[in-house]
């Protein structure tokens, strides 16, 4: 089970996103273990590509990134300063008056940023809270004032412009670095870029950055093959029945590795294919915890491994089959894969 991660594609995606916003610094979001790909290796490669600002979700995610990027880079913690979670040498984005007072009491001389809520109603100070504290906070020179867009992957959505207006109003008079755009926001255009862009998924080859180079290839080893006859069934629940002689390969990965059980065939109708080069091999029956069964009748020779993810089958293509997003497919990839960095 080899998850191959193309660091040169990752770096190319970073540079491409940065070039969309030539007047801004380009940070890199490496939360959730670098979207499942290994935050240390990912951060080190992006540092080489020029990134000096990194974002994680939790204080517990800082250490591997810090080790990879050294003392010079800045690491921001999106969840801010939570009770009992010391941000250490990272920069917490304080999301509420409670977080602000806690942080300033505990680390009065340490750098901090502020996250504002401009309508997503998920994280950040509300406009009323901010109005009351703004002058006091700005007097302490926050490093960054940021907000997050709810609908940036839909360029025509009116929420984008609403949040842009709200962010401009709330950050009037702010001389600190300002940031609004993740991947989707970068692609919305220059007025969304401010001082710092914060792409995540686009670095890893995912939508909405349609010009992204694919970064991941996931190859699953074939354990054994067998020939099944018409009328025989395959897998748990006998959900798939052979209509004709079929060669079935069993490969080593399953839902415990992030290959969602909903990718099982729908009765006899496959939903997902694995790839042997360009040849598509349908997944038959149920995805098990550690195993998948695949129709390899079309292959002249049985390869040592079949690909679930490749440039020909992206995370977004797999996500689309089960009505989710590439982000979830990537971050679900488990710990049993050997991660190989190119
Ligand atoms: C996850 C996240 C990002 C990165 O988003 P992408 O859509 O992956 O580019 C940026 N900012 C915040 C606040 C986030 O939570």
Domains 7-204 and 216-341 share a fold: no
pLDDT exceeding 90 applies to what percent of the chain? 98
Report CA dihedral (303, 306, 310, 315) to the nearest 10 degrees.
Answer: 180
| Fold assignment, 216-341 | Lyase, Ornithine Decarboxylase; Chain A, domain 1 (2.40.37)
Mean pLDDT of the chain: 97
pLDDT above 90 (res 227): yes
DSSP string, 51-80: --EEEESSGGGHHHHHHHH-TTSEEEETT-
Look at ligand 1, atom 6, and give the residue with the nearest C-alpha. Answer: 200
Upper half-sphere CA count for residue 319 (Cβ side, 13 Å): 15
Residue linked to tokens 């703004």: 134
Quick check: 183 and 35 in contact, CB under 8 A?
Answer: no
Using the atom order of ligand 1, give the atom closest to the CA of residue 183.
9
What local confidence, expressed as pLDDT, does residue 67 receive? 98
User: In the chain, where are the structural domains located?
Assistant: 7-204, 216-341
Distance CA 12, CA 10 (A): 5
Element (H, E) at 15: helix 7-20
Query: What residues are labeled active site?
Result: 31, 236
Q: Dihedral of the CA atoms 341, 314, 255, 240 (nearest 10)?
A: -140
Domain 7-204 sits in CATH at 3.20.20.10
Contact between 292 and 273 (Cβ < 8 Å): no
The per-residue pLDDT for 192 is 98
Instruction: Determine the residue of 182, 202, 331 to mutate for testing ligand 1's pocket, defined as the one with the most ligand atoms within 8 A of the Cβ atom.
Output: 182
Tens-place pLDDT, residues 5-30: 999 999 999 999 999 999 999 999 99
In tens, the pLDDT along 91-118 reads 999 999 999 999 999 999 999 999 999 9
State mean pLDDT over 63-79.
97
CB crowding 48-67: b at 16 or more within 10 Å, else e: ebebebbbbebbebbebbbe
Query: What average pLDDT score do residues 127-138 get?
Result: 97
- Residues 24/193, Cβ–Cβ less than 8 Å: yes
Cα separations (Å) of 233 from 242, 253, 290? 6, 20, 19
Q: Among residues 281, 260, 254, 278, which one has the least CA distance to residue 323?
A: 260
Which of 57, 121, 148, 328 has most ligand 1 atoms within 8 Å of CB, for mutation? 148
Joined together, the tokens standing for residue 104 give 């300033």
Q: Which residues contact 52 (CB under 8 A, 6 or more apart)?
A: 25, 72, 73, 74
Q: Is 147 in the pocket of ligand 1 (CB under 6 A)?
A: no
Distance CA 66, CA 72 (A): 9
Contact 198 CB / ligand 1 (< 6 Å): yes
What confidence tens digit (pLDDT) does each residue in 151-198 have?
999 999 999 999 999 999 999 999 999 999 999 999 999 999 999 999
pLDDT tens readout for residues 255-288:
999 999 999 999 999 999 999 999 999 999 999 9
Q: What is the mean pLDDT of residues 306-328?
A: 97
pLDDT(58) > 90: yes
The model's pTM is 0.96
Contact 239, 265 (CB under 8 A): yes
**Which band of pLDDT confidence, cut at 50, 70 and 90, is reported for residue 1?**
confident
At residue 318, the 3 state secondary structure works out as helix
């Amino acid at each position: 089970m080899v998850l191959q991660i193309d660091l040169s594609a990752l770096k190319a995606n970073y540079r491409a996103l940065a070039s969309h916003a030539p007047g801004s610094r380009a940070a890199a979001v490496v939360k959730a273990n670098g979207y499942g790909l290994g935050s240390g290796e990912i951060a080190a490669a992006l540092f080489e590509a020029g990134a000096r600002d990194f974002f994680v979700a939790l204080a517990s995610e800082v250490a591997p990134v810090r080790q990879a990027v050294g003392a010079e880079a800045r690491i921001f913690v999106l969840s801010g300063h939570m009770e009992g979670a010391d941000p250490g040498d990272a920069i917490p984005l304080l999301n509420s008056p409670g977080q602000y007072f806690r942080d300033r009491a505990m680390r009065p001389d340490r750098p901090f940023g502020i996250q504002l809520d401009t309508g997503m109603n998920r994280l950040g100070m509300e406009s009323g809270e901010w109005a009351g504290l703004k002058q006091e906070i700005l007097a302490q020179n926050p490093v960054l004032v940021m907000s997050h867009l709810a609908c940036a992957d839909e360029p025509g959505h009116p929420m984008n412009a609403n949040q842009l207006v709200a962010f401009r109003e709330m950050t009037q008079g702010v001389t600190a670095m300002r940031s609004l755009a993740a991947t989707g926001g970068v692609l919305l255009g220059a007025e969304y870029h401010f001082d710092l862009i914060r792409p995540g998924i686009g670095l890893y080859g995912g939508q909405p950055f349609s010009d992204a180079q694919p970064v991941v290839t996931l190859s699953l080893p074939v354990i054994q093959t067998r020939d099944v006859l018409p009328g025989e069934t395959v897998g748990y629940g006998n959900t798939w029945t052979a209509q004709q002689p079929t060669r079935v390969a069993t490969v080593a990965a399953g839902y415990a590795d992030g290959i969602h059980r909903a990718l099982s065939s729908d009765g006899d109708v496959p939903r997902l294919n694995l790839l042997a080069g360009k040849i598509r091999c349908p997944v038959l029956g149920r995805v098990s915890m550690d195993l998948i069964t695949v129709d390899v009748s079309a292959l002249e020779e049985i390869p040592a491994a079949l690909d679930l993810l490749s440039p020909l089958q992206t995370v977004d293509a797999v996500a689309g089959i089960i009505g989710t997003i590439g982000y979830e497919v990537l971050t679900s990839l488990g710990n049993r894969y050997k991660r190989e960095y190119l």
